[in-house]
C-alpha cells in the first residue's frame, strides 16, 4: 500500500516541472506596432518593473519603473523571441494593457494581415485597449509621460474608464476591432492619441478637435480625443471629439450616459451656455430596407442640465425663454449630427452608427442580408435624426443673479 502511495505522489508532483519564478518574468504592459522597412514590422515593448510602485519599492530604489525596447521583425511572435537578445528575463504578453498602432501602419493595407497574426500570439489577451497614435507608436510610448501614475499600466486602465464620462473617445478594444472587421458592414472606431507637442493649435470649441489640437498647459503632451475610423480592417479617416460624441449617442451598444458641452445662447448670441447632457434612454431607431436605398429615422431623447448661463437670461421660470432654449438645443444637435451623417455617407462611405445591426433583423436569412449589400447601399440611405430635449435641472440657484441689486 505504501508503494502505491509513493508512486501516486510522484505523478502529483510532476505538475511543477515547467514553472517559472516571478523574478524570471518580464511583463510587457504596452505593445507598439509601426511600419518598418522592407515589409518588416517595428515592434516596441514597454516592460514594467513590478517592484517599482509597490510595497517592495525599497528593494528597487535605483531601478526604473519600466524599460522600452524597439526591434524589427516579420511578426509579433518573432519579435517576442528576439527581445530576449537584450532582456534576460522571459518576455510575457499575458499582462499587456494596450496595443498602440502608428497611424501610418493603420492606413496600410498590410495591417489587416498583421492584426490576424496577432490573434495567434499565445498569452496576448483580446480585451486590450486599442489606440492609434498620430506619430509612430514607438515615439508615443517613449514620450507618454504619466505624472500621476508611477506604474505605466495604470494610465491605460484609467484611460479606458474615462471614455464613459467624457465621450471624447470611443470604447476601443482589440477584440472589438476583430469583431467589427469580420462583419463587413460597418466601421470600427479606435481611440486617437498623441504624445508629441503641437506648436500650431487650432482654435475651436473644446470638443471640435482631434488629439494634438487641444490647447492645454501641462507637464505632459499626451492627448486622447477623437477617433480613427476603420473600414475592412484599414484606417480611412478620423472623427473629432464632437463627432465621436454624436456618433456614440446613436450607437445602441454605447454605454456613454453623460456629456458636458456648451451651446450658443439663443437670446444673447455672443455668449454660450454650459450644459450637462444625460442619455438615460437609447435612441429609437427604425430602418426600412424595402427599397435598395434604405430609409433610417432616429429619435434621440436627452435631458439637459444648465450648468452656467453667463448672459443671466432667465431660462428657468420664463416659459417662453425655456421653450426657445429647448428648440435651439434640438436644432443645434440635429444640425451637427446631420454633418456627421453626411461625412459618413459621402467621405467615409461606411456606417459608423451601427445601423446595420437593426437592418439585419429585417431579413429572414443571412444570405438575404448579404445579398442586400448594406455597405454599398448605406451611402445612398435617407437618414433623418430628431432630438427630444427635456430641460431637467437649473442648478441650486434657479433664478439668475440680479445685477442691479448687487450694485445697490
DSSP codes, 333-392: HHHHHHHHHHIIIIII-SBSS-THHHHHTTSSSHHHHHHH-HHHHGGG-EEEEEEEEEE-
**Residue 109 belongs to a domain:** yes
Query: Is 310 in the same domain as 366?
Result: yes
pTM over 0.95: no
For residue 214 the three cell numbers come to 487641444
Task: Quote the CA–CA distance of 35 and 80 in Å, as a whole number.
Answer: 17
Query: Is 126 in the same domain as 272?
Result: no
**Residue 248 belongs to a domain:** no
Query: Is 70 in the same domain as 169?
Result: yes
In this prediction, residue 351 has a pLDDT band, given cuts at 50, 70 and 90, of very high
**Residue 7 belongs to a domain:** no
Q: How many domains does the chain have?
A: 2
The alpha carbons of the chain give a radius of gyration, in whole angstroms, of: 26
Does 206 have pLDDT greater than 70? no
Q: Work out the average pLDDT over 305-325.
A: 86
CB atoms within 10 A of CB 123: 12
Looking at residue 143, what is its pLDDT? 86
Q: Work out the average pLDDT over 333-354.
A: 94
Task: Give 235-273 pLDDT, tens digit per residue.
Answer: 999 998 889 989 998 988 887 888 888 888 888 888 888
CB atoms within 10 A of CB 306: 20
Looking at residue 214, what is its pLDDT? 58
Task: Give 87-131 pLDDT, tens digit per residue.
Answer: 767 777 778 888 999 999 999 988 888 877 777 776 677 788 899
Q: 222 or 314: which carries more pLDDT confidence?
A: 314
Looking at residue 286, what is its pLDDT? 94
Task: Give 81-95 pLDDT, tens digit per residue.
Answer: 777 777 767 777 778
Task: Give 11-50 pLDDT, tens digit per residue.
Answer: 555 555 455 555 566 778 888 999 988 888 899 988 877 6
The residue from 206, 241, 276 where one domain ends is 241
Query: Is 228 in the same domain as 323?
Result: no
8: CB partners within 8 A, 6+ apart: none
Query: Is 68 in the same domain as 117?
Result: yes
The residue from 216, 241, 266 where one domain ends is 241
301: CB partners within 8 A, 6+ apart: 280, 281, 283, 284, 387, 388, 390
- pLDDT, mean over the chain: 79
DSSP track, 269-332:
TTSEEEEEEE--S--EEEEE-SSSS-EEEEEEEEEEEEEE-TT----SS-HHHHHHHHHHHHHH
**Residue 13 belongs to a domain:** no
Question: What count of residues does the chain have?
Answer: 408
**Residue 192 belongs to a domain:** yes
Looking at residue 124, what is its pLDDT? 73
Does 331 have pLDDT greater than 50? yes
Percent of the chain, pLDDT > 90? Answer: 25
Looking at residue 406, what is its pLDDT? 45
Query: Is 201 in the same domain as 294?
Result: no
DSSP track, 107-130:
TSTTHHHHHHHHTTSTT--S--EE
Does 288 have pLDDT greater than 90? yes
Provide the CATH number for the domain around residue 407. Answer: 3.30.300.210
Quote the domain boundaries for residue 398.
257-408
In this prediction, residue 353 has a pLDDT band, given cuts at 50, 70 and 90, of very high
**Residue 6 belongs to a domain:** no
The residue from 186, 208, 241 where one domain ends is 241
Query: Is 388 in the same domain as 283?
Result: yes
Q: Work out the average pLDDT over 282-299.
A: 92
Amino acid at each position: 500500500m505504501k508503494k502505491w502511495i509513493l508512486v501516486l505522489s510522484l505523478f502529483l508532483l510532476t505538475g511543477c516541472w515547467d514553472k517559472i519564478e516571478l523574478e524570471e518574468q518580464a511583463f510587457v504592459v504596452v505593445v507598439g506596432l509601426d511600419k518598418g522597412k522592407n515589409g518588416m514590422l517595428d515592434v516596441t515593448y514597454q516592460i514594467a518593473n513590478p517592484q517599482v510602485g509597490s510595497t517592495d519599492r525599497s528593494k528597487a530604489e535605483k531601478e526604473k519603473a519600466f524599460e522600452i525596447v524597439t526591434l524589427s521583425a516579420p511578426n509579433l511572435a518573432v519579435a517576442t523571441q528576439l527581445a530576449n537578445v537584450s532582456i534576460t528575463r522571459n518576455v510575457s504578453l499575458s499582462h499587456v494593457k494596450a496595443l498602440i498602432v502608428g497611424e501610418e501602419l493603420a492606413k496600410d493595407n498590410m495591417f489587416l494581415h498583421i492584426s490576424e497574426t496577432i490573434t495567434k500570439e499565445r498569452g496576448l489577451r483580446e480585451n486590450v485597449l486599442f489606440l492609434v497614435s498620430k506619430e509612430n507608436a514607438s515615439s508615443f510610448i517613449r514620450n507618454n509621460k504619466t505624472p500621476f501614475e508611477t506604474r505605466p499600466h495604470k494610465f491605460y486602465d484609467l484611460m479606458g474608464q474615462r471614455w464613459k464620462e467624457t465621450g471624447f473617445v470611443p470604447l476601443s478594444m482589440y477584440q472589438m476591432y476583430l469583431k467589427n472587421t469580420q462583419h463587413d458592414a460597418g466601421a470600427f472606431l479606435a481611440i486617437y492619441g498623441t504624445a508629441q507637442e503641437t506648436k500650431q493649435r487650432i482654435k475651436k470649441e473644446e470638443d471640435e478637435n482631434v488629439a494634438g489640437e487641444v490647447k492645454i498647459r501641462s507637464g505632459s503632451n499626451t492627448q486622447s480625443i477623437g477617433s480613427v475610423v476603420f473600414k475592412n480592417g484599414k484606417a480611412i479617416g478620423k472623427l473629432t471629439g464632437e463627432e465621436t460624441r454624436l456618433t456614440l449617442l446613436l450607437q445602441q451598444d454605447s454605454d456613454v450616459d453623460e456629456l458636458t458641452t456648451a451651446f450658443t445662447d439663443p437670446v444673447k448670441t455672443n455668449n454660450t451656455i454650459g450644459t450637462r447632457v444625460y442619455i438615460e434612454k437609447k435612441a429609437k431607431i427604425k430602418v426600412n430596407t424595402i427599397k435598395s436605398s434604405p430609409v433610417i429615422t432616429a429619435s434621440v431623447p436627452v435631458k439637459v442640465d444648465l450648468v452656467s448661463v453667463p448672459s443671466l437670461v432667465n431660462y428657468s421660470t420664463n416659459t417662453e425663454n425655456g421653450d426657445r432654449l429647448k428648440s435651439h438645443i434640438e436644432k443645434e444637435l440635429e444640425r451637427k449630427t446631420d454633418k456627421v451623417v453626411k461625412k459618413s455617407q459621402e467621405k467615409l462611405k461606411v456606417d459608423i452608427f451601427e445601423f446595420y445591426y437593426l437592418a439585419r433583423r429585417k431579413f429572414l436569412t443571412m444570405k438575404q442580408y448579404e445579398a442586400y449589400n448594406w455597405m454599398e447601399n448605406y451611402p445612398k440611405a435617407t437618414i433623418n435624426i430628431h432630438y427630444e430635449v427635456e430641460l431637467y435641472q437649473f442648478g441650486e440657484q434657479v433664478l439668475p443673479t440680479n445685477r442691479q441689486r448687487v450694485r445697490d
